[in-house]
Amino acid sequence: MAVKNLGDFTALEPFFHIIGQGLDGLVDGDHFFEWFTDDVVTEYVVTVPDYPRKVEGLEALAELYRGYGDTMTAESADGLAVHHDRETSVVVLEYVVHGRAVATGRPYDNHFVSVITIRDRKITHWRDYLDPLAVFDAIGAAVPVRRAETGTGS
């Protein structure tokens, strides 16, 4: 499946670029969405409320990212560290994405860890961890707080 209208994803270009650097020589294709199998599974382990925890398939992943520019615009990415286990075909990327929240104009600086499984030079599984507080700060949202339930012992 080819993702159409790649121009819809320009707000993510710095993210795509740093991932490309981290996976250089390990995956086939010229664009981020060409690096995945059609049935890729993407998991967001540490994320923000109302964001999906699991996305199945390349088409669903592209649709999730298509609206990114409505909320955030990535301006740069750096801090890349690559950890590659050749025996398991797992690559762990650590990186930072810098940008701005569209609605507030506030800076967005988020640290990520992406655990990526590659088979036959395509990404089959992606597990992502990010700093949700960086998102809340950029969009000007209150941080949701859960109070621990306590028993009274009565």
Nearest CA-CA partner of 135 in 113, 103, 110, 102: 110
- Determine the 3-state secondary structure of 60 from DSSP: helix
Let me know: does 77 contact 98? Beta carbons within 8 Å: yes
Please write the tens of the pLDDT for every residue from 128-137: 999 988 998 9
On the question of pLDDT at 47 being above 80, the answer is no
pLDDT reported for residue 2: 77
Q: Which long-range contacts (CB under 8 A, 24 or more apart) does 56-63 make?
A: 58/1, 58/3, 58/33, 59/1, 59/3, 61/33, 61/36, 62/3, 62/33
pLDDT reported for residue 60: 96
Let me know: does 48 contact 132? Beta carbons within 8 Å: yes
Write down how long the chain is. Answer: 154
Adjacent-strand bridge partners of 111: 96
pLDDT reported for residue 23: 97
pTM, entire model: 0.88
